[in-house]
Amino acid sequence: MIDLIKQSKQIRYFVLPLLILSIVILLNQWRISRPDTALGTSREYLEGRFPGSNWELAKLALVGEGLGKKWRLEFSSLQKDGRRIQANFLVDRWWPEKIVGRFVLLLGPPQVLDAQWNESTLADRIFSRVTRSDFFLTAILLLALQLLWLYRMHGRGRFRKADGALLAVLGGALMLILTVLEVHPGFMIAYPLLLALLGLAAGSRGGEEKGPGE
């Protein structure tokens, strides 16, 4: 039986920081999984470049992986003179307010009006080298470290502030990687709750370890 009053230190130094981190990361996952901001960014650009045009979304797709994920958007519009414009965009999913690449093509006769595509930054080039497998292996390593530390806490039967800080940091890091991997939201919610319960149970046998002067 977990005594929440007796384990108030574990709640303050481990459970609360972990759950707050998890909520923030879950909100960020919800943000990057929705194309609304990318759509708004693209439409704002198009309205500024071609005022008065009515743009229709023809295609929306996810390209890239890891931290290099982008939204690929294709729009089309019919001009007053009957000519159709096709506009392609690449929008960063982590910073959807920024258009990474754009390519606007006027059809009939074909004419490129504005072109810029995949001008990657140094961060983009670094992240593009980190594969999905690399993120997955890192997640397994972080999970193994958490289980090892929980086992150590269980054997010791006592909780220290350093235990809470370490587990909260490891939990937050794993949540970030799960966001990159885009695992099911149900698992993203269940994982921090389960880790919090395991952390409370692991240090409950002998109570909290008191430091000097406590």
Domains and CATH numbers, the chain: 8-32+129-202 (no CATH), 36-126 (3.10.450)
90-128, pLDDT tens digit by residue? Answer: 998 888 888 989 998 888 778 888 888 876 667 667 777
Q: Residues 3-29: what's their mean pLDDT? A: 81
Q: How confident is the model at residue 2 (pLDDT cuts 50, 70, 90)?
A: low
173-187, pLDDT tens digit by residue? Answer: 999 999 888 888 889
| Per-residue CA distances from 80 to 47, 53, 118, 180 (Å) | 15, 9, 31, 43
Q: How confident is the model at residue 200 (pLDDT cuts 50, 70, 90)?
A: confident
Lowest pLDDT segment from 42-51, 72-81, 122-131, 143-152? 122-131
Q: Residues 115-143: what's their mean pLDDT? A: 82
3 state SS of 65: coil
Q: pTM of the predicted model, to two decimals?
A: 0.72
Lowest pLDDT segment from 20-24, 79-83, 87-91, 151-155? 79-83
For 92, the enclosing helix (H) or strand (E) is: strand 84-92
Q: How confident is the model at residue 212 (pLDDT cuts 50, 70, 90)?
A: very low
Cis-peptide into 109, omega within 30 deg: yes
Residue 147, phi-psi category: left (phi > 0), alpha (psi -120 to 50), beta (remainder)? alpha
DSSP string, 148-210: HHHHHHHHHT-B-HHHHHHHHHHHHHHHHHHHHHT--HHHHHHHHHHHHHHHHHHT-SS-BPP
Average pLDDT across the chain, whole number: 84
pLDDT at position 21? 92
What number of other Cβ atoms are within 10 A of residue 166's Cβ? 16
pLDDT at position 204? 61
pLDDT at position 143? 93
Per DSSP, the chain holds a count of helices (H) and strands (E) of 7, 5
Q: Are 183 and 137 in contact (CB under 8 A)?
A: no
Name residue, tokens 């972990």: 18
Pick 10 or 100 by higher pLDDT. Answer: 100
pLDDT at position 5? 58
Closest by Cα among 120, 67, 66 to 90: 120
Instruction: Name the residue type at position 201.
Output: A
